[in-house]
Chain A
């Protein structure tokens, strides 16, 4: 700390230390006010005293740490996530944290089996990923909740139709077995999404493993490795949507028309990503059939009308062309069943109330 020349400088330093912690708009006024205050205090304490030298130090000590004083001047709340949201934040952080941990561990397990790198190197990578994923998890969950806090989402109002005074009639019906969403089911679904994501996308192990004759395993990926890497952001989006869909299900807890609509919306978004991924077919491995032929798994017989190459090739073409259609069909069936389950729960609730 630079030497203090005189009292005036010490006071200036103190006032600056306070006002520099405050919003610019209030600084000038508070600066003036504090100077006045310190002078008043000095004046009061100087009466009947000789040793004026320690006066300023005494006054400033009494006013306390400038950070503390500044905090009293700031009226806005100084927290990211307030007590109302904190419980929920903690639960979400734990669930997401555990899921991330499982994802990273699965990836590590796969690498242990398949990767040629040394085990030490893999363990180092594993610890690195744990750290990285941990930081991302905490950061994203915190950011989302900080935004909720900032925009004034109240924990008690989440999932409520009407704002204002709570009434017992808002209590959700006890879900019937068919309409109830099991927490374990949702968690397992989330784990599977992460599992598939790690295996099929992150590790790019989506393909066929062949063991022809005495040769070692041949791996032929379904996807074009380079393109998949370019599409990574889409896959991340896809994973996020899948997990969001499960999270909404968990949150609402039973099949209702509202949940069926949310799920439909999530599926619509998911389908749009599928369209981006699959529309131009560039994501599929262009040399898949050639690799398959080279591995000896299929054979070509030019003279015969059909051979294994032609058959597999036809199936491969159909998969590439119709992938979107197949996905769309599955989604339509699933969503229809969601709405059916929602009506079932609705009817039975009515029955219960009537009876």
Chain B
């Protein structure tokens, strides 16, 4: 294996870990209005976040179980769909996560831009 493919592989693995951490915030950010699973996949994809349905659907269930999301089946349409929406707890947690996230990006920017400085 040459150096290039090795670094490619490493970067892929590390990126996957980074993305995993941001996925939850991405999902919460789009659920101020009710969405069903697949509409969320499309909305996120439009905004540049690629997420498999196979990852998103279980994640939505987990977030619901943690009390961050509320869900409801809509059976009026031809195809029954489960709609998810931020709960009160979810809103609060999301707002605070955003603050934390901004803090973190500030720190990271400081680190990255300041790298190499004495």
A residues bordering B, Cβ < 8 Å? 29, 32-34, 36-37, 39-41, 44, 62-64, 68-69, 72-73, 75
Contact = CB atoms under 8 A, between A and B. Distances in A.
A34 B36 CA distance: 12
Given A41-B53, A72-B55, A75-B65, A32 B80 contact: yes
A73 B38 contact: no
The main secondary structure of chain A at its interface with chain B is helix
Contacts of A39: 79
Give the size range of B's interface with the partner: 10 to 19
Contacts of B62: 75
A68 B54 contact: yes
A44 B81 contact: no
Interface string B51-65: 011110110011001
B22 interface: no
Interface of B: 36-38, 42, 52-55, 57-58, 61-62, 65, 73, 79-82
10 contacts: A33-B57, A37-B53, A41-B53, A44-B38, A44-B42, A63-B54, A68-B54, A75-B58, A75-B61, A75-B62
Contacts of B55: 72
A39 B52 CA distance: 15
A34 B53 CA distance: 10
A75 B57 CA distance: 12
Contacts, number: 45
The main secondary structure of chain B at its interface with chain A is helix
Contacts of A63: 52-54
A36 B82 contact: yes
A89 B62 CA distance: 31
A280 B80 CA distance: 75
Contacts of A62: 52
Nearest to A69: B54
Contacts of B42: 44
Nearest to B55: A72
A39 to B, nearest CB: 6
Nearest to A63: B54
A308 B21 CA distance: 86
B37 A33 contact: yes
B37 A37 contact: yes
